[in-house]
Amino acid sequence: MFLVTALGFVGTILFVLLLALLTRNTSQLSRVSGIESVEYLYNLSQTRSSDNLATIDLGRRWPAITLSHHLTSGRMIVVDVYNPQLMPSKSLLRARRQHYPAALSDPRLTWYDSNLDLLPLPDRSVSAVFLYHVLSEISEKGDQKALLEEIFRILEPNGRLLVAEFSNNLVNRLQSGLGVTHTKPIDYWHALLKETGFEFQRTQTLHGAIL
C-alpha cells in the first residue's frame, strides 16, 4: 500500500498505498496487515480522541471499529456507500457477510447507509475522513470523483482525507501476480484527488517498498 498526505482548500489527504506484500489470498494475514495499515493511517491523521471523524465504508466495518478504539468523547461516523451495481467485486460481497454485532451498540460509532454522491453529513462537519480500499472498488471514475467531492464538502477547514489503496506497480505485480492488474497506478490517484480540490502533503509506502 502507499500513503499520501495532501493539503487542500479545506483538507489534507494522507494517501496510503498498501503493498500487497503479505497476501490477497489469505484472509487472516490480510486482516493482520490491514489492521496495521489502519493504525498507521490513524497515527498519521494527527487527530484527537475528542474529534468527530468519518469512515467511508463498503460494509467491511472492522476498519471503522479499529479506528474508533482511539476515541474517548469523539465520534466515528461510518457511512456505508456500497452499491452492487457500482462495486461488483465478489470478494467485497464476501467481506460484507461478516458481522460485528457488539460494534452496533458502541456509543462512539454512528452507522449510516448512503449513496456515494450524497453523504448524510453537514458541510465542514468532520476533522478527518478515512478511506480504506474504497476508491478502487468503485468501477467508474465519475463515481470515484463524486464520492471525493462529497468528502471535500464534509471536511472541516484544514481537515484530512486519509486513503489506503493497492497500487499497480512492479513490486505489487511480482508479489500478487495477476490479482493486482486491475488496480490503478499511483499517478491515477494523484490526478483524481487533485481534480476534486485536494493538494497532496505526503505519499508513503508501507514496508519500505518503492512505487
In whole angstroms, give the CA distance from residue 23 to residue 175.
8
Q: What is the pTM of this model?
A: 0.81
The C-alpha cell at 47 is 487527530
In whole angstroms, give the CA distance from residue 126 to residue 53.
5
Percent pLDDT > 90 in the chain is 44
Indicate the helix (H) or strand (E) that contains 150: helix 141-154
Model pLDDT for residues 95-150, shown as the tens digit of each residue? 887 767 667 789 999 999 999 999 999 999 999 999 998 998 999 999 999 999 99
State the chain's mean pLDDT as an integer: 78
Residue type for position 89: S
Beta bridge partners of 162: 14, 130
In whole angstroms, give the CA distance from residue 168 to residue 1.
10
Identify the band that residue 155 occupies on the pLDDT scale cut at 50, 70 and 90: very high
Sheet strands (E) in 141-192: 155-165
